[in-house]
Amino acid sequence: MPRWAHPLGPVLLLAVGVAAALLTSPAPVCTPRAPCGEQWIDAVGSMVFWPQLWWLFVLPEAAVLWTVLPAVFMADPGVWQGGTDVRTADAVVVAGLCWGLASALRRLSVRRAQRRRFREAAGGLTARAPVLSWAARPKRGLARCVLGVLLCAATAALVTSIVRGDRADDRAARTAPAANARVLTYRAAEGSLTVRLPDGKRHRFDVVGDYRDQRTVRVLLPAGRHVRLAAEPYEDRSDRQLLALVLGGLGLVALGSGAVAAGRAARLRRVPVPVLRVLARVRGGSAEVFAHDDTAGAHAVLHYVPRNDGRTPLHQALLFAEAAEGGEVLLASRTEHGRWRLDAGAGPIRTGAEVLPDDEYTGGEDGEDTAGEDARGGGPTLKERWDAEARVQDALTELRRTGAARPTRWRADPISRSAAVAFAVLTLAIAATAARDSVEWRVVGGFVVAPVWLAGPLATLTWRIDADPAGLRVRRYLSRRHVPWERIAGAEYAGGCLTLRLRPSEKPLREGQLVDDRESGSDLTLDRIGAAWLARRLGRGPAGERVAAEITAMVRDPLLRPQPSAAPASEPPGGIGRMGRAD
């Protein structure tokens, strides 16, 4: 793809042009017969450029369609009224629109060529991608759709509050007594107008209109309300209007991109797609795909973010996709147990190889890690492995000494639960305080900030793992899952997340049965299980490390697991459930 087609250039030009046009636009003329208020047409017309900046980066298809709206706005002759600086800024905006349209069309052309070459490489072979069960299927685009709906709801609430406020101001202006006031000073740069009221008092107005040549102005004196200009009778709600339009633009982008991602993922399941035999590996949190004859793994054809980011060496696989930049992919590979392991990408396809940290390129044969990889690369270092193994050996010794063959429960420790409750209370208190002072904060805090900030404390407070003779019962949020002991290979703790390493299921696959990703060896991860930073501050190690060590010890020694004949004890023995026990 040529360098001029990169979206950064047109985005910068368009942003500079729009900013210059707003700064050089002339002040409106406000009169009592044509009062100034929220200029919705101009404001919405200016803000249609905001989603375009995002579309050019995330979705060129939408950028091509969305270009029509700012083009129609710029076609209005009234937009071009003003001096040379205004017309120059408008010309820059038009140039940015044209460049962005050409860039998006070129990128779409490149993607069509990529899909055509991939179909040719597949030799016309197509098939339906293996179907994941609904529970195991990655919900591509769901988070963005939910965020988009919340942002659009916040926008609707803000717009409703603005309209209701303007109607109240309009009713007050129609019934309020009016009088003439003498103009004392007018500062155009500051947007301020100072007048002397009929009772002799001085009053300062923040204005948006031009009052250079006026000696007197008409003022409204409503009972129990602030003095208003008859030419500008509405309260200044421009900050709320700007916030509503910004949130609305972001909501449209999130909703649109999420819907497109969900549609592409659904298409991958419902219609036959090209199938290609490839080589693949996962390292540094990125899955790289190579041509089937590139046994050295030297030139990656494409890469994507895998759903299962465990490090894997170079291996053979089947690729189901209409492979092009931004597309969806599903990779199927055989495990050592003869089962199919499926990996549906957690992100869109990117062509070429992923740029990884230097430590990721120091490996052994077929990409096997020999010296340990940097933590940024998605795997533990050699020292971290040694420390984890030492904790497992300590747990084995402790559990054998105490004879802990009984039901066990793990959940967040008291320190983490207290921190989560305190953070949730603080978040709600801040949101409630801000809501009393500002409608904007009431809407944004209620629809956007509070749900996002409360997700972490909710995850910490609701996760739980119960051990029974058959396996582990795992709960997170409102979902529950039972994992048999024979499926569990061990547990690891890193970055505040507890991961259960799972083996593929040995159950035979019946013809026509849905392939469940939970049966193919995918790891199970619980994120935000505790406040590790606070535990370190208090001189304690992260409790998640102890949980991982104790679960791994039970996996290695079946005698340490709860036994069918063991009666539930009133309190787990020492060393078990140190993250906190249910009462």
pLDDT digits over 459-505, tens only?
888 888 888 888 898 887 777 888 888 888 888 887 778 888 887 65
Q: Which residues contact 248 (CB under 8 A, 6 or more apart)?
A: 47, 151, 152, 155
Write the DSSP string, 475-494: EETTEEEEEEGGGEEEEEEE
> Any idea which of 2-11, 98-107, 201-210, 273-282 has the lowest mean pLDDT?
201-210
Give φ, ψ of 204 to 5 degrees.
-110, 130
Q: What pLDDT was estimated at residue 353? A: 64
3-class SS of residue 291: strand
Give ∠ CA 292-297-302 in degrees, rounded to 5. 75
Give residue for tokens 């406000």: 30
- Read off the tokens for 420: 């989560």
Over the stretch 53-69, which tens digit does the pLDDT of each residue have? Answer: 889 988 899 999 999 98
Domain boundaries, the chain: 1-124, 272-361, 383-412+463-560
Give residue for tokens 């072979």: 125
What mean pLDDT do residues 157-169 have?
Answer: 84
Q: What pLDDT was estimated at residue 103? A: 93
- Read off the tokens for 404: 């802990």
DSSP state of 212: T
Q: Which residues contact 113 (CB under 8 A, 6 or more apart)?
A: none
Measure Cα distances from 62 to 48, 58, 266 in Å.
13, 9, 19
Q: Cβ(290)–Cβ(302) under 8 Å? A: no
C-beta pairs of 87-90 under 8 Å, 24+ apart in sequence: 88/20, 89/17, 89/20, 89/21, 89/23, 89/24, 90/17, 90/21
Say whether pTM exceeds 0.85.
Answer: no
What mean pLDDT do residues 510-527 have?
Answer: 54
Instruction: Count how many Cα atoms sit within 13 Å of the Cα of residue 513 in the half-sphere of its side chain.
Output: 10
pLDDT: which is higher, 469 or 520 = 469
Q: What pLDDT was estimated at residue 98? A: 94
First-to-last alpha carbon distance for the chain, in angstroms, is: 62
Give ∠ CA 555-285-293 in degrees, rounded to 5. 105
Place 455 in a pLDDT band, splitting at 50, 70 and 90: confident
Could you give the maximum distance between any two Cα atoms of the chain, in Å? 97
Q: Is the pLDDT of residue 385 over 80?
A: no
Measure Cα distances from 515 to 278, 282, 512 in Å.
21, 21, 9
Q: Which residues contact 472 (CB under 8 A, 6 or more apart)?
A: 465, 466, 482, 483, 485, 488, 500, 551
> Any idea which of 27-41, 149-163, 481-495 has the lowest mean pLDDT?
27-41
What mean pLDDT do residues 429-445 have?
Answer: 61
Q: Cβ(135)–Cβ(482) under 8 Å? A: no
Give residue for tokens 């740069």: 189
Instruction: Count how many Cα atoms sit within 13 Å of the Cα of residue 576 in the half-sphere of its side chain.
Output: 27
Q: What pLDDT was estimated at residue 96? A: 92
Place 102 in a pLDDT band, splitting at 50, 70 and 90: very high
Q: Cβ(234)–Cβ(226) under 8 Å? A: no
Q: Is the pLDDT of residue 572 over 60?
A: no
Among 506, 505, 412, 411, smallest CA distance to 467 is for 411
Q: What pLDDT was estimated at residue 575? A: 38
What mean pLDDT do residues 261-281 have?
Answer: 85
Over the stretch 312-355, which tens digit does the pLDDT of each residue have? Answer: 788 888 888 877 777 888 888 876 666 777 777 777 788 776 55
Query: Hey, what's the torsion of the CAs at 431, 437, 440, 446, to 10 degrees?
Result: 20
Q: What pLDDT was estimated at residue 136? A: 54
Q: How far apart are CA 62 and CA 257, in angstroms?
A: 9
Within 372-505, where are the H helices? 382-402, 414-437, 439-444, 450-462
Q: Is the pLDDT of residue 237 over 80?
A: no
Instruction: Count how many Cα atoms sit within 13 Å of the Cα of residue 54 in the half-sphere of its side chain.
Output: 16
Among 34, 119, 28, smallest CA distance to 78 is for 28
Q: How far apart are CA 499 and CA 380, in angstroms?
A: 13
CATH class of 1-124: mainly alpha
Instruction: Count how many Cα atoms sit within 13 Å of the Cα of residue 409 in the half-sphere of its side chain.
Output: 15
Neighbour-count burial of 340, counting CB atoms closer than 10 A to its CB (0-12 exposed, 13-18 middle, 19+ buried): middle
Place 357 in a pLDDT band, splitting at 50, 70 and 90: very low
- Read off the tokens for 295: 């046994």
What mean pLDDT do residues 367-388 have?
Answer: 54
Q: Is the pLDDT of residue 430 over 80?
A: no
Q: Is the pLDDT of residue 164 over 70?
A: yes
Q: How far apart are CA 459 and CA 452, in angstroms?
A: 12
What mean pLDDT do residues 513-535 have?
Answer: 63
Q: How far apart are CA 260 and CA 334, in angstroms?
A: 30
Over the stretch 103-144, which tens digit does the pLDDT of each residue have? Answer: 999 999 988 888 888 888 888 888 877 766 555 556 778 888
